Structure 1
Amino acid sequence: MKNILIVSAASLALLAACNQGDSAGQNAGEAVNATQDAASGVVGQTSATTLGANTIDGFVTGLATGNMYELQSAEIAASKSTNADVKALAAMIEKDHTAAGEKLAAAVPTAAPNVALPTALDERRKGLIDNLNAATPGDFDKVYLTQQVAAHNETLTLLDGFDDNTDAPTLASLARELTPTVMAHRDRAQALLDAMN
C-alpha cells in the first residue's frame, strides 16, 4: 500500500511540473493525468478491498465519497461532452447516484450511528475531478469513460465485499441493492469506451 501511495504522490508531483509548461507541457500533462487516473483506479480497488469491505466506517466513507465523485463528474460530463451517449450515461449516473446517496443517508443514522457521512471529496477523487476539468474537448469523453469504468469497478469491489456483513445488515442489504445499478453503469461506460477505440 505504501508503494502505491508513493507512486500516486510521484504522479501528482509530475502533474504539477508538467502543467507549468507550454503546449509540449500540456501534452505531457495530459499523459500524466491519464497515468494519475489509472493509478487512482488501482489505489481505489485496493482501498475498497482492504478498508471498505472490512469496516462499517470504511464502507460508509467509501460509498459516500464515491457517490459524491460520481455526481460531480456527471455534472462536468453534462456540460463538457458533445456526445449524446456520454451525456445520457451522465444523466443516468446523476439520477441513480442521487437516489443511492439518499438511501445511504437514510440508512446511516440507525445502521451506523457513530459514523459521520463525509461532506467533501478525498484528495484522490479531487485529482480525478481536476483531470476531467483539464481534459481537452477532443479527449474529454475518453477520460470521463475511463474514469467511470475504474470508479464503478472500485464501487463494485466495495459493495461485493460488504454485502454479507452481519454487523450492519441494513448496509449489507443496501450493498446488494446497489450492485446491479453500479454494474449497469460500469458496463455502459465500458461499451461506450470500447466503441471509441
Structure 2
Amino acid sequence: MKYIAIASVASLALLAACSQGGDSAKQNAAEAVNATQDATSGVVGQTSAATVGANTVGGFVTGLATGNLYELEAAKVAAAKSTSADVKALAAMITKDHTAAGHKLAEVAPTAAPDVTIPTALDARRQGLIDNLNAATPGDFNKVYLDQQIAAHNETLTLLNGFEGNTDAPALSALARELIPTVTAHRDRAQTLRDAIR
C-alpha cells in the first residue's frame, strides 16, 4: 500500500512539473525529477517518522535533529533566494524557532538518550531537498520551498505526535509536546502562503 501511495504522489508531482510551460525541455525535465523527489521524500519521511522515529528514543532524537538541520538550511536558502517578503518572514520565523528547538534538544538528549549521537549533518534525503531548492528557478522557488516546508513540518508533526506519550524518555516526550504548537504554526503558515500562489 505504501508503494502505491509513493508511486501516486510521484506521478502527480511529475505530471504537475511537466505541465509548467515556458522553459526548455531540459529544464522542465529537471524540475519534474526534482518535484518527484520532493514528493516522494515527504511520503518516505512521514512513514519513517511514524515507525522508527515515534517508537524509539534513538529514532526520535535522530529524526528531530536531522529535520531541524534541514529546516535551518532551507530557511537560509529561502532568505537568499526568495523575492517574497512573506516567504522571507516565514524563513526568519523558522530560523528563530528551529534554532531554539535545536538548543533544547541538545540540552535534553545527552541525559535522556546518552547512547545516541545527535546528527550534525543532513542525511542524503534531506540534502536532496536542499539541492532541489537550490536548483529551483526564481519563478518556481517559493512554490518549491513552501511545498517542501509543508511536507517537512507534517513529517515532524508525525514524529512529535507519535513520541509525545513515550514513557521511556519523559524529558524528550515533554519536548515533543512543547514543540507541537510551534511546528503546527509553521506548517499552517506555509500552507496559507502556498494556497495564495495557486
* Residue of structure 2 in register with 1:83 after alignment: 84
Could you tell me how far 1:24 is from its partner in structure 2?
1.1
Cα offsets for 1:51-70 (capped at 9, x unmatched): 00000000000000000000
* Residue of structure 1 in register with 2:45 after alignment: 44
Q: How does 1:117-156 map to 2 (within 5 A)?
A: 117-156=118-157
User: What is the alpha-carbon distance in structure 2 between the residues aligned to residue 114 and residue 32 of structure 1?
Assistant: 38
TM-score by length of 2: 0.89
List alignment gaps of at least 5 residues for structure 1. 12-21
User: What is the alpha-carbon distance in structure 1 between the residues aligned to residue 102 and residue 119 of structure 2?
Assistant: 11
User: What is the alpha-carbon distance in structure 2 between the residues aligned to residue 119 and residue 105 of structure 1?
Assistant: 11
* Residue of structure 1 in register with 2:112 after alignment: 111
User: What is the alpha-carbon distance in structure 2 between the residues aligned to residue 130 and residue 101 of structure 1?
Assistant: 22
Q: How does 1:154-165 map to 2 (within 5 A)?
A: 154-165=155-166
Could you tell me how far 1:2 is from its partner in structure 2?
9.0
User: What is the alpha-carbon distance in structure 1 between the residues aligned to residue 129 and residue 146 of structure 2?
Assistant: 12
* Residue of structure 1 in register with 2:171 after alignment: 170
List alignment gaps of at least 5 residues for structure 2. 12-22
Cα offsets for 1:78-129 (capped at 9, x unmatched): 0000000000000000000000000000101111111100111111101000
Could you tell me how far 1:23 is from its partner in structure 2?
3.1
Q: How does 1:50-69 map to 2 (within 5 A)?
A: 50-69=51-70
The residue type equivalent to 1:178 in the other structure is L
The residue type equivalent to 1:119 in the other structure is T
Could you tell me how far 1:3 is from its partner in structure 2?
4.7
Q: Please, what is the CA RMSD of the aligned residues?
A: 2.0
Q: How does 1:26-45 map to 2 (within 5 A)?
A: 26-45=27-46
Identity of aligned residues (%): 78
Displacement over 4 Å in runs of 4+? 1-4
Could you tell me how far 1:145 is from its partner in structure 2?
0.2
